[in-house]
């Protein structure tokens, strides 16, 4: 699969062949959320695609002030694909954001930042391409209820797969087949109730240009994953946006709700975004060295060392929600211990089993899908390149089951850990951000951390929870 068009001429030809009536221009904000602006097809010209479309940057969270709000969307026509969900033929085009005031790509546009990260890689002389392969897990729920008020707050998610549904009355009767807590890895039907739904998602993902490999039920109740082929940094991040859009929409059109939230269920596994990474130059995988531990080269090991060195700051981008840290706790296959290991899923960095040069890579297992993929991949690349430059050595390899270690044992062995809260990661980002520059400007970093404090940390810290009432009300 891949591209449907390669240039502007092919774009218009493709639109004509598919009787396209609307062009949907999409861009990504700092949260990783997609925004769109829809034009009539006959209102779009080659000149407009070249010059871009104006929009109001002050209406996007943490972007422009109202007195400097005019910005330009710069379409990347090579990303165009047909929207599989609209009633009228519509083509979607990814866009970057241009700052008319500084005459450059916008420093707070995640996709533009990711492109700067690739330039940084090239200018470093280390490599000419960075490959990323994210694995985004998701939950499918039948019903979602949320209330957040001054005197009460609650959520309730429901799934026929949930063990809590054992005594629920259904019109057709209660089937009784459920994966149970932590019991959802690879059961067949009828325990796996999402086979047809995932199959539809896989077909639609292929339809929009992704190379789909597999789909399966994940460990938790109501949880799934679909595997797609890796790409370069920009392509991989674009694919995450497509993937999340398709999964949510297919679920929605089937009367269900999909979420990539890291920890929607207490006591069961959460959603991760494991990210496979490698750097290549002149067609050669620089992370491969035969005969070394996991066939991992010194460069790859130093890359890991750089991510671990800056992991607490990197986490502000790879795990950017307060809910992220409810996943990064022992016992739920979400590694927070900063060491590496071959084939060991309890380490924060796993070296997957693979035969030969092309398959050798590292897999960071702590990120999750609340991350903006462009910012998360760019931050890890910057940290890894800093590790290569300074030859940082990660702790490890450690082949033990690290989930069995107590907190005291982790401290005694001086193994670094991920931060335990979003506040901790943001405070680390304030102290440690030089490695991100010049890919991330200081203004972008400052804006980002302030925004996360204001919209995530402080609102979360100021709210009482049901558990707090349970544990302290009678004190």
Q: Which domains does the chain have, with CATH numbers?
A: 8-106 (3.10.20.70), 129-472 (3.30.590.10)
274 a catalytic residue: yes
235 a catalytic residue: no
365 a catalytic residue: yes
- Percentage of the chain modeled with pLDDT above 90: 88
Please tell me the predicted confidence (pLDDT) of residue 318: 98
pLDDT tens string 277-336: 999 999 999 999 998 999 999 999 999 999 999 999 999 999 999 999 999 987 666 688
Please tell me the predicted confidence (pLDDT) of residue 344: 72
> How far apart are the C-alpha atoms of 226 and 208, rounded to whole Å?
15
Please tell me the predicted confidence (pLDDT) of residue 332: 61
Instruction: Catalogue the long-range contacts made by 225-232 (C-beta closer than 8 Å, 24 or more residues apart).
Output: 225/135, 225/136, 225/137, 225/138, 226/198, 226/201, 226/202, 227/135, 229/133, 230/131, 230/132, 230/133, 230/276, 231/131, 231/132, 231/133, 232/118, 232/129, 232/130, 232/131, 232/132
**Catalytic hit among 225, 368, 386, 427:** 225
Is residue 281 marked as binding? no
Please tell me the predicted confidence (pLDDT) of residue 404: 73
Is residue 277 marked as binding? yes
**Catalytic hit among 135, 161, 192, 268:** 135
Q: Burial of 160 by CB count in 10 Å (0-12 exposed, 13-18 middle, 19+ buried)?
A: middle
218 a catalytic residue: yes
Is residue 224 marked as binding? no
Average pLDDT for consecutive 10-residue bins of the chain (475 residues)?
89 98 98 97 96 95 94 97 98 97 96 98 97 98 97 96 94 92 90 96 98 96 96 98 98 98 96 97 96 94 98 98 92 79 84 84 96 98 98 89 74 86 98 96 98 98 96 96
**Catalytic hit among 9, 16, 50, 56:** 56
pLDDT tens string 341-394: 887 777 899 999 876 889 999 999 999 999 999 999 999 999 999 999 999 999
**Catalytic hit among 99, 137, 161, 368:** 137
Q: How far is CA 96 from CA 69, 245, 461, in A?
A: 16, 18, 34
Please tell me the predicted confidence (pLDDT) of residue 331: 65
H/E/C letters for each residue in the chain? CCCCCCCHHHHHHHHHHCCCCEEEEEEECCCCCEEEEEEEHHHCCHHHHHHCEEEEHHHCCCCCCHHHCEEEEEECHHHCEECCCCCCCEEEEEEEEEECCCCEECCCCHHHHHHHHHHHHHHHCCCCEEEEEEEEEEEEECEEEEEECCCCEEEEEECCCCHHHCCCCCCCCCCCCCCCCCCCCCCCCCCCCCHHHHHHHHHHHHHCCCCEEEEEECCCCCEEEEEECCEEHHHHHHHHHHHHHHHHHHHHHCCCEEECCCCCCCCCCCCCEEEEEEEEECCEECCECCCCHHHECHHHHHHHHHHHHCHHHHHHHHCCCCCHHHHCCCCCCCCCECCEEECCCCCCEEECCCCCCCCCCEEECCCCCCCCHHHHHHHHHHHHHHHHHHCCCCCCCCCCCHHHCCHHHHHHCCCCECCCCHHHHHHHHHHCCHHHCCCCCHHHHHHHHHHHHHHHHHHHHCCCCHHHHHHHCCC
413 a catalytic residue: no
216 a catalytic residue: no
Is residue 411 marked as binding? no
Please tell me the predicted confidence (pLDDT) of residue 412: 78
**Catalytic hit among 99, 363, 368, 386:** 363
pTM, entire model: 0.96
């Amino acid at each position: 699969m891949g591209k449907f068009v390669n240039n502007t001429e092919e774009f218009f030809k493709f639109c004509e062949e598919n009787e396209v009536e609307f062009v949907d221009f999409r861009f990504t904000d700092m949260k990783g959320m997609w925004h769109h602006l829809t034009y009539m097809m006959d209102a779009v010209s080659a000149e407009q695609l070249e010059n871009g479309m104006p929009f109001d940057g002050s209406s996007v969270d943490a972007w422009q002030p109202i007195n400097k709000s005019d910005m330009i969307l710069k379409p990347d026509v090579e990303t165009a694909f047909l929207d599989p969900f609209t009633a009228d033929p519509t083509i979607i085009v990814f866009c970057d954001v241009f700052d008319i005031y500084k005459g450059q790509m916008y420093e707070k546009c995640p996709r533009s930042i990711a492109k700067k990260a690739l330039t940084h890689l090239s200018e470093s002389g280390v490599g000419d391409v960075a490959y990323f392969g994210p694995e985004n897990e998701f939950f499918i729920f039948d019903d979602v209820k949320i209330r957040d008020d001054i005197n009460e707050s609650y959520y309730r998610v429901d799934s026929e797969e949930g063990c809590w549904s054992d005594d629920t009355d259904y019109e057709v009767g209660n089937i009784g087949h459920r994966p149970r807590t932590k019991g959802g890895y690879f059961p067949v039907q009828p325990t796996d109730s999402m086979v047809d739904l995932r199959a539809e998602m896989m077909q639609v993902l292929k339809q929009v240009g992704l190379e789909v490999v597999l789909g399966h039920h994940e460990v938790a109740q109501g949880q799934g994953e679909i595997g797609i082929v890796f790409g370069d940094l920009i392509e991989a991040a674009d694919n995450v946006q497509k993937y999340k859009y398709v999964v949510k929409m297919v679920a929605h059109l089937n009367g269900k709700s999909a979420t990539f939230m890291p920890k929607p269920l207490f006591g069961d596994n959460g959603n991760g975004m494991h990210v496979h990474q490698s750097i290549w130059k002149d067609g050669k995988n620089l992370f491969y060295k035969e005969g070394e531990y996991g066939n991992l080269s010194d460069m790859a090991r130093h890359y890991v060392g750089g991510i671990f060195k800056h992991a607490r700051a990197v986490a502000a981008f790879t795990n950017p929600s307060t809910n992220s840290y409810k996943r990064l706790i022992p016992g739920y296959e979400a590694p927070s211990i900063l060491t590496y290991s071959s084939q060991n899923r309890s380490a924060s960095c796993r070296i997957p089993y693979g035969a030969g040069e092309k398959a050798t890579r590292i897999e960071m297992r702590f990120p999750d899908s609340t991350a903006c993929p462009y910012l998360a991949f760019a931050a890890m690349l910057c940290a890894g390149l800093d590790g290569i430059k300074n030859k940082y050595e990660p702790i490890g390899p450690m082949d033990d089951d690290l989930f069995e270690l107590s907190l005291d044992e982790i401290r005694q062995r001086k193994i670094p850990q991920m931060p335990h809260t979003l506040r901790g990661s943001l405070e680390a980002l304030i102290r440690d951000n030089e490695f991100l520059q010049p890919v991330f400007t200081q203004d972008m970093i400052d804006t980002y951390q302030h925004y996360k404090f204001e919209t995530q940390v402080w609102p979360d810290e100021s709210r009482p929870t049901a558990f707090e009432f349970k544990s302290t009300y009678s004190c």
